[in-house]
Amino acid sequence: MFNAELLAFILYFALIIGIGVYFFIRSKGSGDKEYFLGGRSNGPWVTAMSAQASDMSGWLLMGFPGSILAFGMGKVWIGLGLAIGTALNWIFVAKRLRQFSSAANDSITLPQYLTNRFLSKSPALQIISALVFLVFFTLYVASSFVAGQKVFLKIFPGISESTALIIFAAIIVVYTFLGGFKAVCWTDFFQGLMMLVALLAVPFIIVAADGFEMSKVVADYAYLPGTADAAVSSFNANPFSASWQDIASGLAWGLGYFGMPHILVRFMGIKDAKMVKKSATVGIIWVVLSLGAAIALAILGRALFAEELLANGTQERIFIVATSLFPAFIGGLLLAAIIAAAMSTADSQLLVASSSFTSDIYKPVFRKNASNKEVLWVGRVVVLIIAVIAFFIARSKSEAAGSIMGMVENAWGGFGAAFGPVIILSLVWKRLTYKGAIAGVVGGAVTDVVWLIFLSSKTGIYELLPGFIMGAICCVIVTLLDKEPPKEVQALFDRAVSEEA
């Protein structure tokens, strides 16, 4: 029997794998800089779309609207925080980071940039940063695997959960392993377009669907619950009635952007700093439209799907269920959009974690004389290893592993707290020292983890906020206690600023 939904799905994945093979053939004989940073040759559109697509994983289409559906409109503040953070990141960080990373010995990874920024010969900061990458990226990749698994089970209901997970992970690994940064960016470009179209289309179709009751949505606006539990049974569609914890935690999500390696590396890989303005415009518009559509999906989808999804605790499947309103072939493309969202983040994270391990641990610590070809193939092996570990995390039956939102939240908090303050200060503060940067990364990461384990549930405050604040405090205090940077380091800062101007 002809299955139009399956056909659309297969055609999409043929395109993605084809891109990986194409760039593998083109990049034969190239070195690690080409594989991990694309030779700094990406244009403004690819840079913008790949940055935002790698940012918004399956979380955008599943975890975020599902969270709003289950816990009320207080969760909309997460979207507001992300929109603000995206804009600030593009406006104040992107161009300057491109110039600074180039001036700092043409750095190709974030830990490498932080080390070269201070002209340090010590590998300490690179090793610490790379280890943080490996821990949080593995968790982040696992969240994308869970999102992909849920879609595969919808398309292929006869296969087991493990088989669905293996197929999805294998597809990501193949084109990341083969094509590197260029393949990842170009697939993200197409996947970003697909995600946007899908998110904009679904709310319109929900409104047009038979049985949709706008009066139910309007009635929900009139109810202002006092607790999160009440919001589960009665939606609370008024974000301004949210608790101060919801508002503070939501806005704190925006701080995470300043420390996201898989996004920041896109800024480092753009062809020319002059292209950043166009990329920023595209990226900000994409994020505002996508987040707005995801919020609309949660609000409007409640009238049709809330009773079914909340009763089973499957609110994260709201977008998947909504695809049933479309013709089969279109529904298949929309399901592929969820896969696109998950893949566009997982591939970027696999590549950044791999490049960080090879460039920041393997070569400086274990094999200082390793050739570019050796580093390249070690990086590909690390892609496989991280994917395998993420697979087993996603496969576990724990409650944490089953929540896309939960895993993304933890990984996002860890990166934002560890690297956000250090990245900002490295770009604007000439006095910042190498020891201060180490203190900022360690202080932010440790505070984030400790707060998550012991205080997050008690206070209702997202661990990213106290982690970011503590990371900044550690960075500033240790720097002021340390002696001023050498003249060569200050000259590098001046050179990068003058080039950026």
Q: Tell me, what amino acid is at 472?
A: A
Q: Residue 223 pLDDT more than 50?
A: no
d(CA 491, CA 432): 13
Sorted by sequence, the CB contacts under 8 Å of residue 448 that are 6+ apart come out as 413, 414, 417, 418, 463, 464, 466, 467
**Chain centroid to CA 185:** 14
pLDDT at 438: 97
> Which range of residues forms the domain containing residue 35?
4-402
HSE (side-chain half, CA atoms, 13 Å) at 56: 35
Q: Are 143 and 410 in contact (CB under 8 A)?
A: no
Least Cα distance to 268 among 20, 39, 497, 442 occurs for: 39
Can you tell me the mean pLDDT for 279-286? 90
Least Cα distance to 442 among 463, 423, 461, 417 occurs for: 417
Comparison of pLDDT for 356 and 7, the residue scoring more: 7
At 248 the three-state DSSP class reads helix
pTM for this predicted structure: 0.83
Q: Tell me, what amino acid is at 89?
A: N
Is residue 282 assigned to a domain? yes
pLDDT at 149: 85
d(CA 363, CA 100): 22
Can you tell me the mean pLDDT for 415-440? 96
Tokens of 76: 């909309």
Q: Residue 185 pLDDT more than 80?
A: no
Cα-Cα-Cα-Cα dihedral sign, residues 301, 302, 306, 310: positive
**Chain centroid to CA 53:** 8
pLDDT digits (tens, 9 = 90+) for 117-169: 999 988 899 889 888 988 888 888 888 888 888 878 877 888 888 898 888 88
pLDDT at 255: 94
Is residue 462 assigned to a domain? no
Q: Residue 35 pLDDT more than 70?
A: no
At 270 the three-state DSSP class reads strand
Q: Residue 233 pLDDT more than 70?
A: no
Can you tell me the mean pLDDT for 101-123? 88
Is residue 211 assigned to a domain? yes
d(CA 465, CA 467): 5
pLDDT digits (tens, 9 = 90+) for 47-99: 777 677 666 766 788 888 988 888 878 889 999 999 999 999 999 999 999 99
Planar angle of CA 44, 48, 51, nearest 5 degrees: 135
User: What are the residues facing 13 on neighbouring strands?
Assistant: none
**Chain centroid to CA 149:** 18
d(CA 491, CA 501): 15
Is residue 119 assigned to a domain? yes
Q: Residue 454 pLDDT more than 90?
A: yes
Sorted by sequence, the CB contacts under 8 Å of residue 177 that are 6+ apart come out as 20, 380, 383, 384
For residue 269, the surrounding DSSP H or E stretch is none
Sorted by sequence, the CB contacts under 8 Å of residue 179 that are 6+ apart come out as 19, 20, 21, 22, 23, 24, 27
Q: Residue 485 pLDDT more than 70?
A: yes
Map 120-140 to HEC letters. CCCCHHHHHHHHHHHHHHHHH
How many domains does one find in the chain?
Answer: 1
Q: Residue 222 pLDDT more than 50?
A: no
Look at phi and psi of residue 392 and say left if phi exceeds 0, alpha if psi is from -120 to 50, else beta. Answer: alpha
Is residue 440 assigned to a domain? no
Q: Are 356 and 261 in contact (CB under 8 A)?
A: yes
Q: How confident is the model at residue 273 (pLDDT cuts 50, 70, 90)?
A: confident
Torsion angle, alpha carbons of 437, 257, 85, 221, to 10: -130
Comparison of pLDDT for 443 and 388, the residue scoring more: 443
d(CA 434, CA 233): 51
CATH label of the domain that carries residue 248: 1.20.1730.10
State the chain's mean pLDDT as an integer.
Answer: 81
